Amino acid sequence: MQIVAANLKTNHTRNTVQSYLGAVESYIDKNEIAARSVVFPPMSALCQSREKITIGAQNAYAAENGSFTGEIGTEQLEEFAIKTLLIGHSERRHIFGENLELVKRKFDFFSLLDYEIFFCVGEPIEIKEAGFEVVMTYIEKQLDGIDLGYSRLVLAYEPVWAIGTGKTATTADITEVHNAIKEIADKPLLYGGSVKVENAAEIMSLPNVDGVLVGTTSWLSERYCQLLDAANGINK
């Protein structure tokens, strides 16, 4: 079953997330969608998962609670029974300066608590331009010290240069990197980076692609439903 994950980033409000989820839920029911739906709303709109939609948090700090201004910990996640978390997204790494050590600390903390972790890796443009070997060395470094045998781990390959730019990686790029990552870690592996309604089915049909992690295209519920639909037709 393909996973179609929506990263709403800093978009939507409590109200609009509720209508978004309502629209997606009824679409899933009416269209017998077989793909797994996971939605990461902004922090202020966190809520309980629905029967067929898993709600995850885009970020959390490695603590139950405490003096960590601007962050949330497990106490806040537990209020909504949230047990799914995005770690290592490139915006956290590059805009908010999360380094390898902090990302690993979060992974260790939340994996011990049995959270489902969507762990993102991906290279910036200058690494991509240096060639495949350099790309894989970069990704291996991002995975260094991460327990790749963790049972609730989902990996996402998200090249930084493809995120929010409209420039999707080519199917050849995706295939090359996904094949190599699968050799290192036999875990569900999503692709993310400018996935669109027009290219989602093609990407999800590739071997070693187990779904997509989508930003921009997922922000309108209608488009997100079209992505679910694209996943529905794929039998791998």
Catalytic residue among 12, 89, 98, 116: 89
Q: Quick one: CA torsion of 160, 231, 40, 194, rounded to 10 degrees?
A: 30
Binding status of residue 60 toward ligand PGA by CB under 6 A: no
Residue 17 binding ligand PGA, by CB under 6 A = no
Q: Which residue is nearest to ligand PGA (CB)?
A: 215
At closest approach, how far in Å is the CB of 52 from ligand PGA?
A: 21
Q: Find the shortest distance in angstroms from Cβ 214 to ligand PGA.
A: 5
Single out the catalytic residue among 91, 98, 116, 158.
158
Tell me if residue 176 is catalytic. Answer: no
Q: Does 216 bind ligand PGA (CB under 6 A)?
A: yes
Q: How far apart are CA 29 and CA 130, in angstroms?
A: 46
Q: What is the separation of C-alpha 38 from the centre of its chain, rounded to a whole number of angstroms?
A: 9
Burial class of residue 236 in the structure, from the number of CB atoms within 10 Å of its CB (0-12 exposed, 13-18 middle, 19+ buried): exposed
Q: Which amino acid is at 60?
A: A
According to the binding rule CB under 6 A, does residue 88 interact with ligand PGA?
no
**Nearer Cβ to ligand PGA, position 63 or 138?**
138
Helix (H) or strand (E) holding 172: helix 171-184
Q: Which stretch binds ligand PGA (CB under 6 A): 56-64, 75-83, 140-148, 213-221?
A: 213-221
Closer Cβ to ligand PGA, 5 or 28, answer by number = 5
How many chain residues interact with ligand PGA (CB under 6 A)?
13
Cβ atoms of 228 and 4 within 8 Å: the answer is yes
Q: Which stretch binds ligand PGA (CB under 6 A): 30-38, 96-104, 137-145, 207-215?
A: 207-215
As a whole number of angstroms, the distance between CA 162 and CA 166 comes to: 7
Instruction: For residue 214, state whether it binds ligand PGA (rule: CB under 6 A).
Output: yes
Interface mask toward ligand PGA for 169-198; x: CB under 6 A: -----------------------xxxx---
Paired sense of beta strands 116-121 and 153-157, if any:
parallel
181: three-class secondary structure by DSSP: helix
Helix (H) or strand (E) holding 98, with range, is: none
Is residue 178 annotated as a catalytic residue, yes or no?
Answer: no
Q: How many residues belong to the chain?
A: 236
Nearer to ligand PGA, 90 or 111 (CB): 90
Task: Decide: 153 and 117 in contact? Cβ < 8 Å.
Answer: yes
Beta-carbon neighbour count of residue 8 at 10 Å? 20
**Of 40, 41, 37, 19, which Cα lies nearest the Cα of 29?**
37
Residues 140-169 that bind ligand PGA (CB under 6 A): 158, 163-164
Note the residues at the interface with ligand PGA (CB under 6 A): 7, 158, 163-164, 192-195, 213-217
Mind telling me the catalytic residues?
89, 158
